[in-house]
Structure 1
Amino acid sequence: MREAGDVTTLGFGGRPEGAVEHLEIDSTLASLPQTFSGVALLALRRHRRVELAAPAVQAALRLLEGRHFDVIIANEARALPLAHKVAAGAAIWGDMHEWAPEERTQLLSWRLLVAPHMRYVCRTYLPRTEAVTTVNQSIADLYDQQFGLRTEVVRNSLPDSGLAVSPLDGARIRLVHSGGAVPGRNIESIIEAVRELDDRFTLDLFLVEARDGGRYLAKLKHLAGDSDRITFHPPVAPAALPVTLNAFDIGVYQLPPATTNQRLALPNKFFDFVQARLGLVFGPSEEIARLIREHDLGRVTADFAAGSLTAALRDLTPEQVAEFKTNADRAASILSSEADEAVTRGILRRLLGRSAGA
């Protein structure tokens, strides 16, 4: 973004790196209406009356009063009404990330109250938004089919790390998983699978404690028991993950598709593992499975159960693991952020040209 000009950010928390100015919103303010009247308006489908009513949005409007920009980037669907309200002729880029109409459909209250509002926001504002992006082609296709768009893809990819493939440690196969220790992530299935495997297999976990006071992480440690083949490590910074993970052989991940976004997920850890030059053994999520097969990066399990993961791992040979790691090395540049940065630069050039001609 800095290549294109001076960046002003608006949001919760402190100033992000690279921003010349940051307009901070109080993190205690809700980004959706939570008062009795606000919830009632959501329930009654009074979408236009509620789209700018959230306390965080009201604070943003005050911070933006009298300001003018060349391009406005709305981060996720709920920011679109605000972006269009303050645009004053500026081009708007809607960075949707995932499938907004089903962001948190595992929650009944969200399905009943917020999901219809998100569909209204997408239906009303996306066709009037000059650029729309999301994280993979499957989700882009959903936006295009349901809202008549031409959505572009900017993946959550990483720069090519340039790491070398790490050698295997004899016959040992070193499995690794990194991410949040969040209930519903099915990390217990990985632990259960490894406990059923023979002594060739080890599992190292780099987990970030969830907002549950560490209860789920404690549950995972209890499940691992006294196994000397399962090791829990402190989390490492995202930028350091490829280097840290490079010491292992196979990245494992098993997230059951409770939502559309989970079914179509292409998570950061996929790119972490590829840039670490690891083989992959993942559950059959559609986008991930397609890329694993396309680049011969590893194996896709039959389903998301621990038994399927055990079956996919049990007969792996060191030669196969070495081949998967080599294939990850070959695919690392193709799956790096270079292509995604090119899409981003193209969008900015187009939008800045539109603003200059306005």
Structure 2
Amino acid sequence: MKKIIVSVTNDLSTDQRVDKVCGTLHQNGFKIILIGRKLKNSQPLNRKYSTKRIRLVFNKGFLFYAEYNFRLFFILLFSKKDILLSNDLDTLLPNYLVSILQGKKIVYDSHELFPEIPELVHKPFVKKCWSNLEAWILPKLKNTYTVCNSIAAFYHNKYKTDFKTIINLPKEKEIQLGKFPFHSKDQKIILYQGAVNLGRGLELMIDTMPFLENTLLVIIGDGDLFNNLKQQVKNNNLTHKIHFLGKISPKQLHKLTPLANLGISVEEDLGLNYRFALPNKIFDYIQAEVPILVSDLPEMKQIAIDYKVGEVVTNRSPKKLATQIKSILEKDFSTALKKAKQELVWEKQERKLLAIFNNLK
């Protein structure tokens, strides 16, 4: 049985992509240990494979990345393994160095164009450091995959790499219904689930809500802008229309997503990373049979158009966006959603994932 050490920089509890990858590999005869970090609010884990969380002194900025990568390097160096699976650029350096020193196979899963994340837009030196690291290592990697065709093509054009595409689709599951305590039957629900960070279009949605009657906006997730957005809602006297639930477990989320009448993914075009984005939440909405409203960006736009499960934002002014939302809420996407949810599931991606790990170069 081959042992794979999988590494991420998050606390493991809400990373559904990594959990699905580890679960598939575990079910198909690989021994898995997943390494992440321990935070004060980290939720307990109950996984069929092994996990390890590192408690750090520093939890943000340069010192966090330095400490985590330093400690991860020595954990990888002195652990038994056959294969190293690095998730994203912020875990790649220690994985690559150990693979070279010990002659181990390395696999790289790029969840995004890391140097292009919006948080680095105004940090040119930091961005250059990550870009240089990427340019040094990526052309040397033989076993790579990513979340969408646009990123795979970008890396191929830039580094002549051969990234495969493993879309981050949800597992096939039955719909279960929970309850929002603040919701009445005559109200429509617009749902956002995911990171509450820069460029997610949440400020726009808050500005749009005054133009929508009998409609609630529910925001599930946490991030850098969480407190600022709550203050924006309070300042505009919209606390009765907009509800923040913070970070919840995937199990809880599974019961709440189907309650929505519309799922939104209205990210701004803040560079290549957002332009090529294909967020998990889009597929979670579809799996819950919730129509989608997405930005006019290539990957997410194509899902809405190809599967006819929603619409693309036509205008980002609050009044016109509200008009479009009203129109969507009057339409019936149920037949298309039922068909799409059968196709857009993780089970359809597993064969491609196993082909990579069973045929390492």
Deviation at 1:118, TM superposition (A): 2.5
Q: Does 1:12 align with 2:28?
A: no
Deviation at 1:273, TM superposition (A): 0.9
Structure 2: distance between partners of 1:195 and 1:33: 40
Deviation at 1:311, TM superposition (A): 3.1
Q: Does 1:28 align with 2:39?
A: no
Letter in 2 for 1:77: L
Q: Does 1:135 align with 2:174?
A: no
User: Structure 1 27/212 Cα, relative in aligned 2: closer, same or farther at 3 Å?
Assistant: farther
Contact 1:159 1:336 in 2 (8 A): yes
In the alignment, what sits opposite 1:192? 207
In the alignment, what sits opposite 1:243? 255
Structure 1: distance between partners of 2:78 and 2:260: 53
Which 5+ residue runs of structure 1 have no aligned equivalent? 36-52
Secondary structure of the structure 2 residue equivalent to 1:7: strand
Letter in 2 for 1:62: F
Letter in 1 for 2:209: V
Secondary structure of the structure 2 residue equivalent to 1:54: helix
Q: Does 1:97 align with 2:111?
A: yes
What are the superposed Cα offsets for residues 255-306 of structure 1, whole Å, 9 maximum, x if unpaired? 2111211122111211121111011122212211111011111111124332
TM-score (normalised: structure 2): 0.78
Q: Does 1:176 align with 2:194?
A: no
TM-score (normalised: structure 1): 0.78
Structure number with larger C-alpha Rg = 1
Letter in 1 for 2:50: V
Structure 1: distance between partners of 2:88 and 2:169: 18
User: Structure 1 9/163 Cα, relative in aligned 2: closer, same or farther at 3 Å?
Assistant: closer
Which 5+ residue runs of structure 2 have no aligned equivalent? 1-24, 178-183
Contact 1:284 1:303 in 2 (8 A): no
Residue of 324, 329, 342 corresponding to 1:333: 342
Deviation at 1:347, TM superposition (A): 1.4
Q: 5 Å matches for 1:221-300?
A: 221-225=234-238, 230-232=241-243, 234-235=245-246, 236-300=248-312
Q: 5 Å matches for 1:190-229?
A: 190-197=205-212, 199=213, 201-211=214-224, 214-225=227-238
Deviation at 1:55, TM superposition (A): 3.0
Deviation at 1:106, TM superposition (A): 4.3
Structure 1: distance between partners of 2:128 and 2:219: 37
In the alignment, what sits opposite 1:2? 26
Contact 1:182 1:216 in 2 (8 A): no
Deviation at 1:172, TM superposition (A): 6.5
Structure 2: distance between partners of 1:94 and 1:177: 29
Deviation at 1:30, TM superposition (A): 6.8
Structure 2: distance between partners of 1:268 and 1:34: 29
Deviation at 1:137, TM superposition (A): 0.9
Q: Does 1:64 align with 2:76?
A: yes
Structure 2: distance between partners of 1:62 and 1:187: 40
Deviation at 1:78, TM superposition (A): 3.2
User: Structure 1 176/85 Cα, relative in aligned 2: closer, same or farther at 3 Å?
Assistant: closer
Q: 5 Å matches for 1:74-89?
A: 74-87=86-99, 88-89=102-103
Letter in 2 for 1:338: E
Secondary structure of the structure 2 residue equivalent to 1:289: helix
In the alignment, what sits opposite 1:41? none
Letter in 1 for 2:202: I
User: Structure 1 336/85 Cα, relative in aligned 2: closer, same or farther at 3 Å?
Assistant: same
Contact 1:256 1:304 in 2 (8 A): no
User: Structure 1 21/161 Cα, relative in aligned 2: closer, same or farther at 3 Å?
Assistant: closer
Deviation at 1:170, TM superposition (A): 9.8
RMSD between aligned residues: 3.2
Letter in 2 for 1:337: W
Number of matched pairs? 323
Deviation at 1:77, TM superposition (A): 1.7
User: Structure 1 181/90 Cα, relative in aligned 2: closer, same or farther at 3 Å?
Assistant: closer
In the alignment, what sits opposite 1:55? 67
Contact 2:152 2:164 in 1 (8 A): yes
Q: Does 1:148 align with 2:173?
A: no
Q: Does 1:347 align with 2:356?
A: yes
Letter in 2 for 1:7: I
Deviation at 1:196, TM superposition (A): 1.4
Contact 1:255 1:304 in 2 (8 A): no
